[in-house]
Amino acid sequence: MRRWLVPLIVLSVVVACGAVVLFPDSLGRWVPLLEYQEPVQQLIVRNERTGELSIRVESPSGISTRTVPAGGMESFGEATCRATLLIAYDANGSEISRLDLVGCTTKTWIFTADGRVRLEDDRVFRTS
C-alpha cells in the first residue's frame, strides 16, 4: 500500500503547483500554468484616450472593423499578418493614424491620452 502513496503525493503536488504557478499571457494578465499558451505574433492596440477607437483592418480577404474601449487594450492576433492597411478612427469618426503592411511581428500601437500615437516593438504595457 505504501508504494502507491509516494507517487500519489508527488502527482498531487505537481498538479497543484501547475494550477497555482502563474505566467503572464499576451495581454499581461496572469494565468495558471495549465491555461498558459505560447504567444503568437500579433498587433496589440492600447487606447489610453477617454473615447473608444475603431480600427479598420483591410486585407486581401476583406475588410473588418474592431473597437478598442477607452482605457482598454485589445490583441488583434494573427489577423494583422495578412493586413495591408490598418486605419484608426476616434469616437467622432475622424482618422487618427494608419499603418501600412504591419506584418507578422508583435507590435503595440499606442494611442496616448495627450493625443500622440506611436508604434513600438513587442508588447508594451502601461507603467502608470
Domain count, the chain: 2
* Res. 59 pLDDT band, cuts 50 70 90: confident
Same structural domain for residues 22 and 76?
no
Residues 50 and 112 placed together within one structural domain of the fold: yes
pLDDT at 23 over 60: no
Do 114 and 57 share a structural domain?
yes
Domain span including residue 86 = 43-121
β pairing state of 107-111 and 22-24: unpaired
Same domain (yes/no): 63, 101? yes
**The three three-digit cell numbers of residue 15, written as one number:** 498538479
Instruction: State whether 84 and 67 are in the same domain.
Output: yes
Residue 71 has pLDDT above 70, yes or no: yes
55 with 78, same domain: the answer is yes
Q: What is the percent of the chain where pLDDT is above 70?
A: 62
Cα 12 from chain centroid?
Answer: 33
Calpha distance 45→58 (Å, rounded): 16
pTM for the predicted model, two decimal places: 0.63
Query: Which residues touch 19 (CB under 8 Å, ≥6 apart)?
Result: 32, 33, 34
Mark residue 62 as left, alpha or beta (left: phi above 0; alpha: psi -120 to 50; beta: remaining). left
- Single-letter code of the amino acid located at 68: V
Q: Based on the domain organization, do 23 and 49 belong to the same domain?
A: no
pLDDT tens, residue by residue, 91-125: 999 999 998 876 667 888 999 999 999 988 876 66
